[in-house]
Amino acid sequence: MKKTLALLLVLILTLSMTAMASAEPVKLVIAARGGSHVDVINAVKADFEKENNCTIEVLGLENTDLKQKMALDSRNAKGAYDIVMLDDPWMPEVTEAGLLLNLTQAGYADDADFVKTSLALGKAPYGTGDTFALPFAGNVTLLFYNEAVLSAAGAQVPDSWQGVLDIAKAVNGKDGKIGYVIRGQQGNPIVGDFLPVLWAYGGDIFDADWNVLVDSAEAKAALNLYIELLANGKNFEKNDIVSSVANGTAAMSLGWPSWYIVGGASTAGYAKIPGKAAPDSVEYPSGVIGNWLMGIPANTQNTELAIKLLTYLTSAATQKAAASVGAVPTRVSVFTDAELSQKYPFYATLLAATEQSVERPRTPKWGDIENVFGIELSNAITGIKTVDQALADAKVAIENAIK
């Protein structure tokens, strides 16, 4: 038995040594959002590795894990990552915490080829300050619609939310069709789905002095319309939203382009999100911009090479090459490239929508705000609270969140 025990310990020791031996040599490491972004980086990294005699490892992580890892690694004198991907609303939080290298101070000069609204996301303070991150992957919410359903209803693509509601009313319930699909799950889904309506009505979450505006008359009108859309439609999760609009069960929804568009083909019609409440109302920018940015952690051990890699990954040539593996560009020259425009006809709509998009409020507390606002929006659409009560409570909750 002693022999068995000794053998067991030797086995454990050997396995542990194997585990230790798997320590990776020094290399450039990119902490990225898992999924298609990892595939894109892996598809274009070879040229850089060859030219710079280095290896690039891409660590694809779930959203929350990525942010958590970035924060944890920042306490190390020698950072584990050379480039990190960031969802654009994280920028105020990570720059205030000093997690990112100031690219402007490191000698990076802004490139005017980036779409202005995308480049602005990587600056701190937003739009006017130094550049801390560059836009790697473009994204903006669009209106998606089923062409056959709209055509059968004798409707054109709506340019106002009243128009969206009119079509939803005309379609809903006829032959089992759904007029409009909202994404009403608490938190990020419902907030992202409602913000374009709020903005189109001239409302917002904050004014320029950070006073909370969610109980304004505009916000109430927007939420009433949103509830009316639900009354003439359904509340689905994203996969079901896409399938219902794509197969003609539903007429319209909002969504991120990558849900519907694969390669050059889209499973539904697409247009810029209506920016006005009614046909004769004032038009406002209304699409939510949602770029993934890339920055360099302040504690990277390879600053120069990391800047070079960041510049390479966001260059026009790389974005053009990456388009074939599904990357959405952030540069005007790539969006308007003749060859790509022919292959990916949605680029023109996406560029126009990005140029007229709105960023989510630039505050380090955005995560908390999104959470509490989402709860109250959910309370309103499920009838737990009246619109007035839900928005009044949302105001108090948001004010508490930003204290």
Partner 1 sequence: MRETLVSRGTRKLLVAVFMVWTMFPVYWMLSLAIRGGGELFGALNLLPRSFSLEHFADLFNTKAFDVAIGNSLQVTLISLLLALLFGMSCAYVLARARFRFKMKGAMLFWVLLLRILPPIAFALPLYILMSDAGLLSTKIPLILSHLLINIPFIIWFMITFFEALPIEVEESAAVDGATEHQLFTRIVIPQVLPGLTAVSILAFMTSWNEYLYAAIFVQSPSQFTIPLALSTLNSEQELTQWGNIAAGGVLSLVPIALFVLFAQNFLIVGLSGGAVKE
Residues at the contact surface with partner 1, assessed by CB under 8 A:
1-2, 5, 8, 11-12, 15-16, 18-20, 22-24, 29, 33-39, 57-63, 65, 68-69, 72, 75-76, 80, 137, 139, 188, 238-239, 242-244, 246-247, 249, 256, 258-259, 290, 292
Q: Which is nearer to partner 1, 67 or 331 (CB)?
A: 67
Pick between residue 84 and residue 387 the one whose CB is nearest to partner 1: 84
Q: Measured from the CB atom, is 58 or 387 closer to partner 1? A: 58
d(CA 102, CA 303): 11
- Separation CA 381–CA 390 (nearest Å): 9
> Toward partner 1, which CB reaches closer, 3 or 403?
3
Least distance (Å) from partner 1 to the CB of residue 247? 5
Q: Where are the alpha helices (DSSP H) in 90-205?
A: 91-96, 116-121, 147-152, 161-171, 188-200
Alpha helices of 247-290 — where are they, by DSSP H?
A: 257-260
Q: Which is nearer to partner 1, 73 or 204 (CB)?
A: 73
User: What's the min distance (Å) between Cβ of 399 and partner 1?
Assistant: 27
Q: Least distance from C-beta 290 to partner 1, angstroms?
A: 8
Q: Are 261 and 346 in contact (CB under 8 A)?
A: yes
Minimum CB–partner distance for residue 74 and partner 1 (Å): 11
- Which of 80, 396 has the CB closer to partner 1? 80
Q: Report whether the peptide linkage leading into residue 125 is cis, meaning its omega lies within 30 degrees of zero.
A: yes
Q: How far is the CB of 187 from partner 1 (least distance, A)?
A: 11
- Give the separation between CA 323 and CA 39, rounded to whole angstroms: 12
Q: Round to whole Å and give the CA distance between 115 and 352.
A: 10
Best CA proximity match to 316, nearest among 32, 115, 55: 115
- Cα–Cα distance, 355 to 115 (Å, whole number): 7
Contact 58, 32 (CB under 8 A): yes
For residues 182 and 221, give the distance between their C-alpha atoms in angstroms, rounded to a whole number.
17
- Rounded CA-CA distance 105/174 in Å is 60
Q: How far is the CB of 317 from partner 1 (least distance, A)?
A: 23
Closer CB to partner 1, 248 or 364, in the complex: 248
- CA–CA dist 128, 309 (Å, integer): 24
Q: Which residues pair with 114 in a beta bridge?
A: 331
Secondary structure element (H or E) that encloses residue 331, with its range:
none
The Cα–Cα gap between 48 and 311 comes to 11
**CB of residue 375 vs partner 1: minimum separation in angstroms?**
19
Least distance to partner 1 from the beta carbon of 402, Å?
A: 24
Decide whether 223 or 245 has the Cβ nearer to partner 1.
Answer: 245
Distance CA 198, CA 223 (A): 7
- The residue among 13 and 317 lying less far from partner 1, judged by its C-beta, is 13
- Give the Å distances, CA to CA, from 54 to 28, 134, 236, 262, 319: 7, 22, 46, 32, 21
CB of 329 to partner 1, least distance (A): 15
> With respect to partner 1, which residue has the nearer C-beta, 323 or 397?
323
Q: How far is the CB of 136 from partner 1 (least distance, A)?
A: 12
CA atoms 48, 52, 53, 59: torsion sign = negative
